Structure 1
Amino acid sequence: MYKTIIMPVDVFEMELSDKAIRHAEFLAQQDGVIHLLHVLPGSASMSLHRFAADVRRFEEHLQHEAETRLQTMVSHFSIDPSRIKQHVRFGSVRDVVNELGEELDADVVVIGSRSPSITTHLLGSNASSVVRHATLPVLVVRLVRRFRNKPCPGLSSLMGSVQFSQGFFLQDYAKSGKDLFRPDE
């Protein structure tokens, strides 16, 4: 299906990533490679130079902790671990996802998301920022209570956005009862 899949994860929010793992595995099928990506916030401007060494040590500690947790996350996958690569970068999630996507010539991004809270309504979420600024397709896996303890529901339902004129065509096609994703028999 897909050869190169980027999966941004928050190693400190494993429940959120667990749902996305099943979907990424499904998309990878036999020979796709999943690139786990954890993004740490970049340092603020270093106007206080005397603290630069402390900030750097703290960033190194965070990076090491993230790498350790990513390595642990690999064990949650059922595919061959050699098909899972790990990346820890600094910056904004949306920018780093796009940069890595270009670097790897990625096919798709799979990202977990939860139901929005008041905080995400006010500040926004990483998933929504990735979707808004993505330079490649993004599959958002919503953490919903009814799927929490079930295996990947697969892609039995799919929603996408289309241009207005194409929407009428798709609506008519759907009403006809034909399957959009299978050839005519």
Structure 2
Amino acid sequence: MFTRILVPIDLAEPQMTEGAVTYAEALAKAFHSKIRLANAQSLTPVKLLDYLPQDFNENIRRGLESELSAVAAKIDLPAARISTALLFGPIYQTILAEAERWGSDLIVLCSHRPGMDRFLIGSNASAIARHATCPVLIVR
């Protein structure tokens, strides 16, 4: 039923990451699916670039790729069925673009418990759920 499961994760939220990955792993085992872990990072504001070391972006990229690989290594699936994507840009738009590009037929992600701030300004999870062209499973 599902062949390509995209799992957007927030590396700064290990409990939320684990929740989404656990669900995706169970679904991938049941349907013999592929999983792609995706982490989207906002771009560094141009105003800050003068104050950062020249290799700042490369160091950040290497560190994030290492963290993504560590999460992927914990998934109990053959390595050929797991991939990662480190993305840069506005979070929900970048995730939706990756879902389209990779051909995802399911997105599994975690969400914070909604508070007043979420109701007033929205959240990435709700934006992804509203605008995705494939089913979205939101794990609390």
TM-score, with length taken from structure 1 = 0.66
Measured after TM superposition, the shift of residue 54 of structure 1 is 3.3
Asked if 1:39 is matched to 2:37, the reply is: no
For residues 18-167 of structure 1, the aligned pairs below 5 Å read 18-29=18-29, 31-44=32-45, 46=46, 51=50, 54=52, 57-142=55-140
Between the two proteins, what is the percent identity of the paired residues?
29
CA RMSD, Structure 1 to Structure 2 (Å)? 2.2
**Distance (Å, rounded) in 2 between the aligned partners of 1:61 and 1:81:** 25
Deviating above 4 A after TM superposition, structure 1's stretches of 4 or more consecutive aligned residues are: none
After superposition, the Cα gap between the structure-2 partners of 1:26 and 1:50, relative to the gap in structure 1 and judged at 3 Å, is: closer
Partner deviation per Cα, 1:87-143 (whole Å, 9 max, x = no partner)? 10101122112211221111111011121134323332211121122122111111x
**Distance (Å, rounded) in 2 between the aligned partners of 1:21 and 1:106:** 15
Aligned residues between the structures = 139
TM-score, with length taken from structure 2 = 0.85
When Rg is computed on C-alpha atoms for both structures, the one with the higher figure is: 1
Task: Identify the residue that residue 5 of structure 1 maps to in structure 2.
Answer: 5
**Distance (Å, rounded) in 2 between the aligned partners of 1:120 and 1:17:** 19
Q: Which runs of 5+ in 2 are unaligned?
A: none
**Distance (Å, rounded) in 1 between the aligned partners of 2:98 and 2:11:** 18
Flag the structure with more relative contact order, 1 or 2, with Cα contacts below 8 A and sequence separation at least 6.
2
Equivalent residue letter for 1:42 = L
Partner deviation per Cα, 1:141-170 (whole Å, 9 max, x = no partner)? 11xxxxxxxxxxxxxxxxxxxxxxxxxxxx
